[in-house]
Structure 1
Amino acid sequence: MIESPCVACCKLDEHKVCVGCYRHINEIVDWNRRSEAELTAIMQQVALRKTTYEQQDISTVPTSPITQAEWQAAKQARRQ
């Protein structure tokens, strides 16, 4: 299994991407229940986002913690 890129930062930008691990909230939920192919695809997206975000001054990006409602909505969307 591919290890989660989580760095225990959990702050989402306006696009619902964590500025710590560069995963979208929909990619964060159920990480341990995903197939190797899904994890590989997510990690490819993470690499692309990381490059883009590193070209910005992330300290100026407005962020917010993941709310329970956002988490539940993402889990529900994943199960549909």
Structure 2
Amino acid sequence: MVESPCVACCRLSSDKFCVGCYRHITEIVDWNKRTDLENSAILQMVAQRKIQAEQAGLLNADTAVPTTAITQAEWQAAKTAARMK
């Protein structure tokens, strides 16, 4: 089983990417229902996003992007979208 990269931060950028684990909200929902292959592919994208954020200086507190907590509505919309795939 591929472990979730969650770091219990759960703050979304305006693009709906978590600034803690670098997953898009659609990648966060139903993590435990995905196959190991699917989750491994997500982790590869997560690694790329983290590198891009580091290079852009987005991990620096002075240049960090504004974030919001995941709302119930966002969570439900993402779950619905995941089920429609």
Report the TM range for the smaller structure's normalisation. Answer: over 0.9
Q: TM-score, normalised by structure 1?
A: 0.95
> Over the residues paired in the alignment, what is the CA RMSD in angstroms?
0.8
Question: 1:41-56 maps to which residues of 2 (within 5 A)?
Answer: 41-55=41-55, 56=57
Q: Distance in 2 between matches of 1:61 and 1:26?
A: 20
* Fraction of identical pairs, as percent: 64
Higher helix share: 1
Tell me, which stretches of 5 or more residues in structure 1 are unaligned?
A: none
TM-fit CA distance, 1:57: 3.1
Deviation above 6 Å: which 4+ runs of structure 1? none
- Which of 66, 69, 74 is 1:70 aligned to? 74
Aligned residues: 80
Match in the other structure for 1:36:
36
Q: Distance in 2 between matches of 1:16 and 1:57?
A: 15
Three-state SS of the structure 2 residue aligned to 1:5 is: coil
Q: Distance in 1 between matches of 2:10 and 2:54?
A: 17
| Structure number, greater radius of gyration | 2
Question: 1:7-46 maps to which residues of 2 (within 5 A)?
Answer: 7-46=7-46
Q: TM-score, normalised by structure 2?
A: 0.90
